[in-house]
Amino acid sequence: MQQRSADRLARILDACAGLLDETGYEQLSTRDVALRAEVPIGSVYRFFSNKRALVEALALRNLELYAERITARLDSVPAGDWRGAIDAVLDEYLEMKRTVPGFALVDFGPPSPAEGPADDANRRLAGRLAELLAGHLGRDPGPELLRAILVSVEAADALLQLAFRTDPEGDPAIVAETRTLVLAYLAQILD
């Protein structure tokens, strides 16, 4: 029973991701998600009260997938190589932006602004990255590292949005500038 419920939830989130790529957030409807997932509309509402809750669940799933994929990438980066670790973080984000359904529009949070700081997607992402990087680099994941990662995430988010508005695959020059900026900023705390 639990496996069937988990499978149904995955189908609903997959349908949501595909429809986001096709129609965008504004045109997304729970009815269309139910049709695409081949489940009764009641199943969608069993898990989610509205489309925002559905998209937030997709964003959380994206964050989990991102963390798993970064962890796998970090396995090939030497423990003390923070620059290699940051490259892995950026490279995985770019890969997911280009290939994971729904990720281009809803990476780690709904496309509309969050309702408050507790729902802030970039803070959630920064916290997760600080944990992963601290563990890989053998550093304390304290407030100083968390703040530096948050500032890096905010800057990279704005610049990578620009890169993908300029070119659907991410303007290579803007991506390169983003990488340079993030590495130079983090050098202050990680060198």
Q: Model's pTM, two decimal places? A: 0.90
- In this prediction, residue 1 carries a pLDDT of 67
Q: What is the pLDDT of residues 133-188, one digit of tens each?
A: 999 999 988 999 999 999 999 999 999 999 999 999 999 999 999 999 999 999 99
What CATH architecture applies to the domain 59-188? Orthogonal Bundle (1.10)
The phi and psi torsions of 80 (rounded to 5 degrees) equal: -90, -5
Q: Residue 114 has what DSSP assignment?
A: P
Which regions in the chain score pLDDT beneath 50?
118
- In this prediction, residue 114 carries a pLDDT of 53
Report whether 20 contacts 30 (CB < 8 A).
no
Fold of 1-48: Arc Repressor Mutant, subunit A (1.10.10)
- In this prediction, residue 26 carries a pLDDT of 92
